[in-house]
């Protein structure tokens, strides 16, 4: 009988072959051979004796995934089916129409057309429902299925039929013909001059050409204005390519400056990386914005700017990912992404927060306690620490989003109201000045009054926790009268809360509405107006003495 080996099984065999090349001095060959023999025999018996037919691909893939999950979250198996998504994540490129899509009421809808690409150029708008692609109904399709239909060869045509809300509250059916292009997702979705003389650059990813995009953004602003400072916004940036972290740092520091050293088990995985090009500006005072979602390559840039005393870091402590991954090919176009090294920024510190090789008695990983962190020094002698991400020089409080605002956003009522607003308002003022009037906010309150939504305030959560704890400790009967009285006093009123949280809800509405007219640039310009971290950065840049004191200059 002919033996058929599934793709994931071949991936396992490839991993086994790779294991075979490891030196006997570093690992027990007997242990490897023993466990692989057990696995092979187990799978053979399972395949022969199990009562039902097995899905080998699903089973082996689950086994691979579970095995890698025991190591760290970053060592991953990438199947042939997922290889294209992985390529897009690292290159930022694909061929299609250039739009984010989502689902609503069994329709796939446009949630954001990318500026400068076919979707935006053809007039597609956020909120448009896709009902047909090339004459074929896509009602009730999943977003992944629609995404595949929208992608294709650059230059090829695709025809959509959409439903769009009109000013009367009804939906028009419209045909939209587009020509697919190579889409390059921008690493710098927005840059601009704020407060008349501060260069603001938002860097959201580190795919290919990230450093060049930052270079071009700063160069463009320098050519148009006498700048007094730079703000590089790395908040929410999950990282990406190590080379692009070096290239980005190179925009702000001189050629041949050490940015990172990488240390792995193998010689080829240990090296030092320096800048290789000319900087755009090494003199202007600079602030880097960071938060708990700034990770990996973003931490290399933020950390190197801190260690070299090139910039003041403002925001919250970063994520703490100091691990480097290398991608290796497997049979049948699959890949494995393996953690091969740790990186160390210029002061010599590694900012990795979790040691995945050590776990507690329950098998959970733990963060390095502050008492075990080691002190290092920046170029000017400031003390910094390893083992827990990048600690900002100026710590700010993260914005607290009220549960009502979260609910309105999650239920898509803010998105849907922006769709209605766009249908009934042909134009708005420039995004940097756009603001909803009190009357317009009242219209939103009336509109949302008929919508179904529930939320729990922080006070109600605390009371619920008190009830649970007191019942467990058998005290609740003693306090029930007082508890019920207090509960009655804090029961929230939806309409009242819509006005209590007006400024916050209004901010989200203005962002979404501005994006309908000016796309992502409009959204960013509204966000900048409300951004407390950015305001702190601008204030800091206007205080040279304070900047110099922080940087020990």
CA dist 292 and 307 (Å) reads 19
Residue with tokens 């692609």: 133
E strands in 378-475: 383-385, 394-395
Burial of 463 (0-12, 13-18, 19+ CB in 10 A): middle
**CA neighbor of 192 nearest in space, from 217, 166, 170, 169:** 217
- Residue pair 60/6 in contact by the 8 Å Cβ criterion: yes
- Residue pair 445/499 in contact by the 8 Å Cβ criterion: yes
Catalytic residue among 72, 128, 233, 307: 307
Known active-site residue 416: no
Beta carbons within 8 Å of 194's beta carbon, 6+ residues apart? 200, 231, 528, 534, 538
Catalytic residue among 204, 296, 304, 515: 296
CA dist 444 and 501 (Å) reads 13
Catalytic residue among 321, 386, 422, 531: 321
**Where do runs of H (alpha helix) occur along 80-209?**
80-91, 118-121, 143-150
CA dist 262 and 250 (Å) reads 18
- Residue pair 374/386 in contact by the 8 Å Cβ criterion: yes
CA 429 to chain centre: 30
- Residue pair 349/374 in contact by the 8 Å Cβ criterion: yes
Q: Tell me the DSSP string of 247-277.
A: HHHHTTS-TT-EEEEEEESSGGG-EEEE--S
Return the CA Rg of the chain: 27
Query: b vs e for 159-171, b when ≥16 Cβ sit within 10 Å of the residue's Cβ?
Result: ebbbbbbeeeeee
Query: b vs e for 106-120, b when ≥16 Cβ sit within 10 Å of the residue's Cβ?
Result: ebbbbbbbbbebbbb
Q: Is residue 11 classed as helix, strand or coil in its secondary structure?
A: helix
Known active-site residue 454: no
List, in sequence order, every residue forming a beta bridge with 133; answer none if it has no partner.
Answer: 136, 160
Known active-site residue 494: no
Q: Is residue 474 classed as helix, strand or coil in its secondary structure?
A: coil
- Residue pair 414/509 in contact by the 8 Å Cβ criterion: yes
- Tally of helices (H runs) and strands (E runs) in the chain: 18, 23
Token output for 177: 């013909």
Alpha carbon separation from 111 to 40, 127, 157, 451 (Å, rounded) = 48, 6, 21, 21
**Where do runs of H (alpha helix) occur along 134-180?**
143-150
For the beta carbon of residue 478, count every other beta carbon within 10 angstroms.
Answer: 10
Active site residues: 296, 307, 321
């Amino acid at each position: 009988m002919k033996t058929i080996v599934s793709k994931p099984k071949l991936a396992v065999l490839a991993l086994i072959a790779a294991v075979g090349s490891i030196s006997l001095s570093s690992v027990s060959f007997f242990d490897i051979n023993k466990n692989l023999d057990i696995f092979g025999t187990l799978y053979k018996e399972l395949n022969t004796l199990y009562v039902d037919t097995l899905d080998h691909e699903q089973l082996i893939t689950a086994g691979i995934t579970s095995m890698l999950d025991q190591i760290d979250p970053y060592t991953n198996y990438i199947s042939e089916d997922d290889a294209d998504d992985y390529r897009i994540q690292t290159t930022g490129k694909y061929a299609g129409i250039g739009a984010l899509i989502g689902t609503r009421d069994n329709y796939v809808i446009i949630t954001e057309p990318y500026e400068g690409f076919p979707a935006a150029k053809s007039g597609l708008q956020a909120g448009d429902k896709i009902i047909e692609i090339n004459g074929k109904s896509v009602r009730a399709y999943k977003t992944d299925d629609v995404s595949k239909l929208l992608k294709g060869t650059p230059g090829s045509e695709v025809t959509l039929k959409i439903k769009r809300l009109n000013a009367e509250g009804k939906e028009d059916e419209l045909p939209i013909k587009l020509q697919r292009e190579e889409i390059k997702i921008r690493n710098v979705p927005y840059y601009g001059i704020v407060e008349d003389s501060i260069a603001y650059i938002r860097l959201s990813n580190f795919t290919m050409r990230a450093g060049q995009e930052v270079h071009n953004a700063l160069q463009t602003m320098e050519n148009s204005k006498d700048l007094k400072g730079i703000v590089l916004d790395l908040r929410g940036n999950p990282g990406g390519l190590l080379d692009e972290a070096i290239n980005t740092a190179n925009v702000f520091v001189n050629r041949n400056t050490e940015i990172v050293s990488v240390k792995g088990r193998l010689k080829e995985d240990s090296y030092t990386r320096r800048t290789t090009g000319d900087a755009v500006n090494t003199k202007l005072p600079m602030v880097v914005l960071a938060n708990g979602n700034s990770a990996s390559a973003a931490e290399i840039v933020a950390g190197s700017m801190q260690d070299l005393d090139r910039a003041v870091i403002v925001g919250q402590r970063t994520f703490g990912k100091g691990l480097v991954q290398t991608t290796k090919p497997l049979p049948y176009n699959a890949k494995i992404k393996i953690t091969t090294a740790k990186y160390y920024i210029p002061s010599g510190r590694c900012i990795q927060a979790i040691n995945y090789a050590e776990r507690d008695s329950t098998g959970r990983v733990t963060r390095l306690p502050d008492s075990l962190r080691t002190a290092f020094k920046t170029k000017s002698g400031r003390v910094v620490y390893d083992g827990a991400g990048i600690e900002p020089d100026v710590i700010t409080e993260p914005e607290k989003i009220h549960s009502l605002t979260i609910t309105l956003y999650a239920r898509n009522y803010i998105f849907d109201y922006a769709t209605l607003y766009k249908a009934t308002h042909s134009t708005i003022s420039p995004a940097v000045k756009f603001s909803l009037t009190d009357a317009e906010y009242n219209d939103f309150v009336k509109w949302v009054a008929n919508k179904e939504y529930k939320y729990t305030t922080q006070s109600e959560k605390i009371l619920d926790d008190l009830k649970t704890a007191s019942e467990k400790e058998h005290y609740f009967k003693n306090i029930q009268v007082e508890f019920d009285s207090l509960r009655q006093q804090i029961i929230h009123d939806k309409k009242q809360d819509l006005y209590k949280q007006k400024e916050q809800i209004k901010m989200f509405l203005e962002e979404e509405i501005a994006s309908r007219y000016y796309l992502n640039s409009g959204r960013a310009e509204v966000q900048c107006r409300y951004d407390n971290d950015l305001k702190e950065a601008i204030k800091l840049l206007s205080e040279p003495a304070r900047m110099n004191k922080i940087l020990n200059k």
